[in-house]
Structure 1
Amino acid sequence: MAAASPANTQAADPAGPLRRAPSQRRSRERVERILAVATGLIAAQGSDALRMAEVAAKAGISIGSLYQYFPDKAAIIRTLAERINAEGRACIEEGLRDVRDAAGLRDAFGRLVDTYYGLFLAEPVMRDIWSGLQADKGLREIDLEDSRINGRVLAEVLARIDPGADRAGQFTRAFLVMQLGETTMRLAISVGREEGDALVETYKRMALRELAPE
């Protein structure tokens, strides 16, 4: 999976938290320009410093036009968060699609964790958005739903590997592993790199002992 910019990743829901879903090409292009500007500003100075007036000015639109699409900066940030999640889901689905046994799951899951950690390290916007997760109820809901979706994907893999196992139990394990993965990434990027690397490696070992013990 390529580490695409959040502003250029297609969201699963084109409307997302937008006030008005763009239906015409010109409107869609305007929304993309707004998100590209916001991405650049967040990367440069953080989401706390993001100002709607500055976004509008740099996007070349009036503040009124900006508010037609995004009621506040939280809506912009949540749209970017949903796009980041859409990219992550595509990565997970692709990485697990051909897994048919425990050995394949161990290999694929380990690579996915490494890829996701690399994205967190490489994308300042991604780090900034998720660092504010606990302070934003909307972001917490997006994060929880994303973990459920990814948990269902992982649970399907577990069902292929062990079709006789309890499906509800498989989903519970998969959901928890995915949610803990998100938490681990946020913790890893909040500490020094050496400690962060160790945390991610420990998470992988713990998760795989639960999902695909050798």
Structure 2
Amino acid sequence: MNETAAEAREGAALTPRRDPVQKRSRERMRRILDAASGLIAVHGSDALRMGDLAEKAGISIGSLYQYFPEKGAIIRALAERYHAESRACIEEGLASVRDLPGLGRAFGALVDTYYGIFLAEPVMRDIWSGMQADKALAAMELADSRANGELLSRLLLRLRPGEDPEAIKASAFLVWQLGEATMRLAVSVERSEGDAVVAAYKRMAIRELVG
């Protein structure tokens, strides 16, 4: 199968073809994604070629296609990796919150951390810049916002007892979804304007969450 045909295949799986169970397979998967991240950081995702990736990862092109049937699957796997890392960061950041003022401080710190990651990670910026043009990536972002909203709403329901649970859930979901949009906007404009946008979002979100 040549590279062009593989990349153009319709209905490609949203996840890698092979589920890496053994340690050796997991290590190979990690090496492929690390190599892809390095290439995208330098050249962008549009310029990513399966042959170049196989060479950088030190595997055959056939082995690469066993894990990823086309380039889109690699991009989605990288997005899943970043989502998992951000989820762990969010869970850790909210774990010690015991009251509403503490939530405000913790949420503000998470926003700052997330913004810093966006500024430092060209691969994440590249993936997110094409999020709305790729239905699978857009669906992944929406699912991630829902999951993060659930984390936040469970905490809010403990801190704001007696309030409407559905309203709490809607607010938490919206806060996260707007946060994703804010980060995309912030890294697409001049740094000073981006900083101001993130600061404004943080103020509005904390006011909504804490009151």
Same fold, judged at TM 0.5 (above)? yes
Deviation at 1:124, TM superposition (A): 0.8
> In the TM superposition, what are the counterparts of 1:173-188 in structure 2 within 5 Å?
173-188=171-186
Q: Distance in 2 between matches of 1:44 and 1:176?
A: 34
Aligned to 1:116: 114
Kept in 2, the 8 Å contact 1:100–1:160? The answer is no
* AA partner of residue 200 (structure 1): V
* Equivalent residue, structure 2, for 1:143: 141
What are the Cα deviations for residues 73-101 of structure 1, in whole angstroms up to 9, with x where unaligned? 11111111011011111111111112122
Aligned to 1:58: 56
Runs ≥4 in structure 1, deviation > 4 angstroms? Answer: none
Structure 2 Cα separation of the partners of residues 23 and 209 of structure 1: 45
Matches within 5 A, 1:38-117: 38-117=36-115
Deviations 1:106-133 (A, max 9, x none): 1111000000000000111111111110
Quote the residue 2:5 is aligned against: none
Identify the match of residue 130 of structure 2 among 129, 132, 147.
132
Could you tell me which amino acid in structure 2 is paired with residue 63 of structure 1?
Answer: I
1:10 maps to none
Q: d(CA) in 2 for partners of 1:156 and 1:204?
A: 20
The percentage of aligned residue pairs carrying the same residue is: 67
Aligned length: 198
Q: Which runs of 5+ in 1 are unaligned?
A: 1-15
- RMSD, matched Cα: 1.0
- Check conservation: 1:41, 1:50, Cα contact below 8 A: yes
Gaps of 5+ in 2: 1-13
User: How far does residue 197 in structure 1 lie from its aligned partner after superposition?
Assistant: 0.2
Is 1:160 equivalent to 2:185 in the alignment?
A: no
Deviation of 1:20 (Å):
0.9
